[in-house]
Amino acid sequence: MKGGTYTVKIEPCEEGGYWAYFPALPGCHTQGETLEEVLAMARDALAGHLECLYSHGDPIPVEKTALKRTRIEFPLSVPA
């Protein structure tokens, strides 16, 4: 099985903590109390999900377009 790149989306939970999911891999999701924990859990969830697909002979989905992010900062002036 060869590697690939998958986008993980992380969102805050209403009750606290975070949940993470992979849009290209339906059913592959996890949660954690902190960002560090949810990232570690997401890595494990991804590995387990792909291993399960592979072991059952199911096709491994390929993400069509890897999400690219950039940060744009701009000054905001507020009228006095």
Summarize pLDDT for 39-58 with one digit per residue, the tens: 999 999 999 999 999 999 99
Q: From residue 36, how far is each of 5, 53, 56, 80 by CA, in Å?
A: 19, 26, 31, 40
The structure's pTM equals 0.76
Say if 4 falls within a structural domain: no
Residue 16 sits in which domain range?
9-55
Say if 71 falls within a structural domain: no
Q: Would the pLDDT of 1 be above 60?
A: no
Say if 37 falls within a structural domain: yes
- Number of helices (H), then strands (E), belonging to the chain: the values are 1, 3
The arrangement of strands across the sheet holding 18-21 comes to 9-12, 18-21, 29-32
Say if 69 falls within a structural domain: no
- Look at residue 63 in the predicted model and tell me its pLDDT: 84
Look at the chain and report how many structural domains it folds into.
1
Say if 1 falls within a structural domain: no
Say if 2 falls within a structural domain: no
Under a CB-based contact definition with an 8 Å cutoff, are residues 45 and 30 in contact? yes
Q: Note every long-range contact of 53-56, with CB atoms under 8 Å and residues 24 or more positions apart, other chains counting.
A: 54/1
Say if 77 falls within a structural domain: no
- Look at residue 64 in the predicted model and tell me its pLDDT: 78
**Residue tagged 């992380």 (tokens):** 10
Say if 67 falls within a structural domain: no
